[in-house]
Each structure stands twice: as C-alpha cells, then as structure tokens.
Homo-oligomer: A and B are copies of this chain.
C-alpha cells in the first residue's frame, strides 16, 4: 500500500532526508519534501511546524521528521494536536507507535541512527496498522486534550 508522505528536517539531517526521500519514492509512495533544500543552518521548530500543518491540512497521511537527535523536531510536531509524533530508533518502537498510538509522524535522529536502521524503522512504521480497541480512546485524548482533562 502506498501513501502520500511528507518529510521535513533541519540542516543536520539533510543527507538522511535525501536518502529517505529516494527510498520512499522507490517504494511507490508520493513524497512531499518540505525542506530544507540546502545545508544552511535552520531552526527545527520551523520545519516541525511546517510538517505538522501539512498533516493537519490533510496534504499527507504520514510524516517523517528528522533532526540531529530527532528530539527537537519531535517536540515541535507534537505541539500540534493533529499530529502524534513518535521518536524512534528501533523497529519495535516504530511498530508500537502505530499499533498503540496511531502515530502519524515518525521522528528519527540523523546523527544517532544508521541509514539502514532508519529505513527499517520507516518500513515498519508504514506497514503496521493501528490496533484500535482500548487504544482508541487514549488516542482520542491526544487529539482533544481538553476533554481528557474534563474527564480525568
């Protein structure tokens, strides 16, 4: 199954982004590369928010968020309630993020993860369905924080 997938990074993750854009395209996915498109220093929140809004507007089903450690951009993407961004560095976490959390954005750290492990995580992320069931209302509380507070 192929998807429309958006990808964004900061300057530290430009090379990994290029590799993953090509790999995703080779798998038949439609890829929106939201930048950056040079190695000039940028701020990860700008690209995290750009990706989050792209997802929120329905322009892509899934997102890939990259920075040096993956930490900063994952914080930024998760500011948006339309996004559930999982920072992962292993296959199992990538699968669990889909199965339990219905993650729609995967974050990885370009300076910490190898290229093949990154592809392995991304493949696992894309092929794992959400489990639903008891996980659904927890995911709903991520989408509607206010309702969670009222019912906690």
Contacts and interface: CB of A to CB of B under 8 A. Distances in A.
A45 B100 contact: no
Contacts of A100: 68-69, 71-72
Interface residues of A, number: 42
Nearest to A151: B46
What is the count of identical protomers in the complex? 2
Contacts of A55: none
Contact of A89 (B79, B89, B148): B89
Going nearest first, the 8 A-B pairs with the smallest beta carbon separation are A78-B78, A45-B141, A46-B152, A69-B96, A71-B86, A87-B87, A43-B138, A72-B101
Interface of A: 41, 43-46, 49-50, 68-69, 71-72, 74-76, 78-79, 81, 84-90, 92-93, 96-97, 100-101, 103, 109, 112, 134, 137-138, 141-142, 145, 148-149, 152
